Amino acid sequence: MKRTLVWIWTVLLFAPAAWAQQVAVQEYVLENGLRLLMIPKKGDPNIAAGWLARVGSVNERPGITGLSHLFEHMMFKGTHVIGTTDIKKDLELMGRLDAVKAEIRKEEQAQIKRLRLGQIDNLQDPQNRTERHNAMLRELAAIEKESKALIVQNEFDKVYTSAGASGLNAGTGEDYTVYFINVPSNKLELWFWMESDRLLNPVFREFYSERDVVHEERRMRTDSTPTGKFDEEFNALFWTSSPYSWPVIGWPSDLEGLTRQEALDYFAVNYAPNNISACLVGDFDPEEAKKLADGYFGRLKRNPQQQPPVRTREVEQMAEKRMIAFAETNPEVQIRYHSVADGHANEPALVVMGALLSGRTGRLYKSLVLDQKIANSVTAGQNGMKWEGYFLLSGIAKPGSTPEIVEQALYKEIEKLQKEKVGERELQKVKNQFAADNFRRLESRFLLMLQILIADSNRGWQAFNEDPKRIAAVTADDIQRVANLYFKPENRAVALFYTRKSEGGEEDPLLAGLSDQDKAEVRQFKAVVSKMSMDEAKNILQKLEPQMSAAPPEKKALIEAIQRLLQDKIQNTGGK
């Protein structure tokens, strides 16, 4: 599976569907509850096709964190007919793997007890395991080797590619998991068969070895980045009771303990057709699509037990929280305020407020970067998720400045919004920018498909068309009201980052001016690019360039850095 586009589209999908213009969506609901959303567009004979399961890390619980993301990996491992040369032998070996793993877990529990009592200090050291434990690990490895001989690697991707499809990928968030691809119009039936088959006949082969792959992904994205672990810790600090407190990729100890049976049980509830929406955007006949949906997705059985709602809500925060960290990063401050979930009556005012503050024409940049010259970059914005939400303020201090100075300057800008109403001209300018961005964003079938699915996973796809009026209706009074309602000291958490330089060498010029989060993304992408072929680099660059004009100002530098990496890859490999 190619995973290079997952985080790119996450960056590009920087605005919720609430800001989009009206789109004609045809809805067709199957008897099993699966919802097919169709947006026919004549012209280019291709279809942006995707489906979304309304399940993410927020639906997990302690002990199985990271399972939603692991599922994303497992769904590309094939089915009964794809990905294996002998399904009967394949299933037999998986049964043996599960049996041996169950015995290993008993040994692991005894080992954890010894760690808890201080009898050992490292769970990974083979010297700290019993001989039976090591013997069973060798047996597990032998079965995995035998099983691997039956696997047809990446066959799911190969079937699509041979049919002219491209961009097969997926992504997991706090509230959803989405799978997508671009298929030729004359291969639409192939998409219906392939996607329904992996929902009808999942296998989850290579389950235990794939957990190691996720561990490596966690190492790259979190452990090996300057502020990765601190960002994770700050997120856990911010949420007191909400399940948004754990990372999407999961806690390490949970990843080590997940079982295939837990995965199967999770799948039965969360990947049932009555918890799934699919979307097609492109050149196709809706009537034909309905027939194909009935014939293929209609085979899936509804789960009579609906997905349980998220029960645990965030408790009211009663006192300010603060975190101080030293990392190989520029001095920075991050401030989070508890706000509202997606669709809340106050969300539009918070979204507009974020736009007033952010960007190179926003108040924060003008004040902290240009006038006071105390920060290199600043940002602000509302993040309304399905069940909770927060408003973020952040700034990277210039040399000679400090995180504390930037922090106090950010508060002063909020105080201005609390005391003084925004002028009508400034407010209208922001709304006009929303409208311009929406027009450009809708030109991409791929992004339109994603935005429709994500809107549908929260409040229903209709919100995509209904919310623009809510944004347009925001007044200066609304902004002043929410500024006074949510931006209080006892409602925030603050993280202060101080520089701890690494040994040897100056920073990569490619990272200059980027936020620490963006730097981490560039470093990760740089490693991915090094393993790409020239054709893959060209394909991603071609898809990325048209989105540059729609990117928010604070993300343009990030996308430019990504473009330079891709261009260098193409040039260094011949540029043919």
* Least reliable range by pLDDT among 5-9, 135-139, 328-332: 5-9
pLDDT band at 516 (very low <50, low <70, confident <90, very high): low
Arithmetic mean of pLDDT, 202-222: 86
- Is the pLDDT confidence value at 390 over 60? yes
- Is the pLDDT confidence value at 430 over 70? yes
pLDDT band at 180 (very low <50, low <70, confident <90, very high): very high
- Is the pLDDT confidence value at 326 over 80? yes
- Is the pLDDT confidence value at 4 over 70? no
Q: What pLDDT was estimated at residue 456?
A: 96
In this predicted model, what pLDDT tens digit does every residue of 344-353 receive, in sequence order? 999 999 999 9
pLDDT band at 476 (very low <50, low <70, confident <90, very high): very high
Cα 532 to Cα 1: distance, rounded to the nearest angstrom: 13
Given the DSSP bridges, would you call strands 321-327 and 35-40 parallel, antiparallel or unpaired?
Answer: unpaired
Q: What pLDDT was estimated at residue 373?
A: 97
The topology under which CATH files domain 6-13+21-84+153-299 is Cytochrome Bc1 Complex; Chain A, domain 1 (3.30.830)
Read off the tokens for 385. 């998720």
Summary mean pLDDT of the chain: 89
In this predicted model, what pLDDT tens digit does every residue of 19-41 receive, in sequence order? 446 889 999 999 999 999 999 99
**In the β-sheet with 35-40, what is the strand arrangement from edge to edge?**
26-29, 35-40, 276-282, 46-53, 177-184, 166-172
Q: What pLDDT was estimated at residue 511?
A: 75
Higher pLDDT, 439 or 78: 78
Q: What pLDDT was estimated at residue 558?
A: 84
Q: What pLDDT was estimated at residue 15?
A: 40
In this predicted model, what pLDDT tens digit does every residue of 79-123 receive, in sequence order? 999 999 999 999 999 999 999 999 999 999 999 999 999 999 988
Cα 468 to Cα 536: distance, rounded to the nearest angstrom: 37
Q: What pLDDT was estimated at residue 528?
A: 72
| 219 Cβ neighbours under 8 A, 6+ residues apart | none
The single-letter code of the amino acid at 105 is: R
Q: What pLDDT was estimated at residue 2?
A: 39
In this predicted model, what pLDDT tens digit does every residue of 518-547 receive, in sequence order? 776 777 677 677 767 777 777 787 767 666
The single-letter code of the amino acid at 373 is: K
Question: Same CATH topology for 6-13+21-84+153-299 and 321-499?
Answer: yes
In this predicted model, what pLDDT tens digit does every residue of 302-325 receive, in sequence order? 998 889 999 999 999 999 999 999
Q: Are 273 and 30 in contact (CB under 8 A)?
A: yes
The CATH homologous superfamily to which domain 321-499 belongs is: Metalloenzyme, LuxS/M16 peptidase-like (3.30.830.10)
Cα 72 to Cα 75: distance, rounded to the nearest angstrom: 6
Ranges of H-type helices in 117-227: 131-148, 155-162, 188-200, 207-218
Q: What pLDDT was estimated at residue 444?
A: 85
Arithmetic mean of pLDDT, 254-281: 93
pLDDT band at 145 (very low <50, low <70, confident <90, very high): very high
Read off the tokens for 472. 């347009």
* Least reliable range by pLDDT among 5-9, 284-288, 425-429, 467-471: 5-9
In this predicted model, what pLDDT tens digit does every residue of 488-513 receive, in sequence order? 999 999 999 998 764 444 556 677 77
Higher pLDDT, 480 or 556: 480
Q: What pLDDT was estimated at residue 286?
A: 97
Higher pLDDT, 212 or 130: 130
pLDDT more than 70, % of the chain: 91
Give the residue extent of every domain in the chain: 6-13+21-84+153-299, 85-150, 321-499, 515-572
Cα 101 to Cα 410: distance, rounded to the nearest angstrom: 52
Arithmetic mean of pLDDT, 132-160: 93
From first CA to last CA, the distance across the chain in angstroms is 25
Q: What pLDDT was estimated at residue 3?
A: 38
Q: What pLDDT was estimated at residue 11?
A: 37
Q: What pLDDT was estimated at residue 220?
A: 82
Question: CA dist 277 to 12, 50, 298, 411, Å?
Answer: 22, 9, 13, 42
- Is the pLDDT confidence value at 389 over 50? yes
Q: What pLDDT was estimated at residue 209?
A: 87
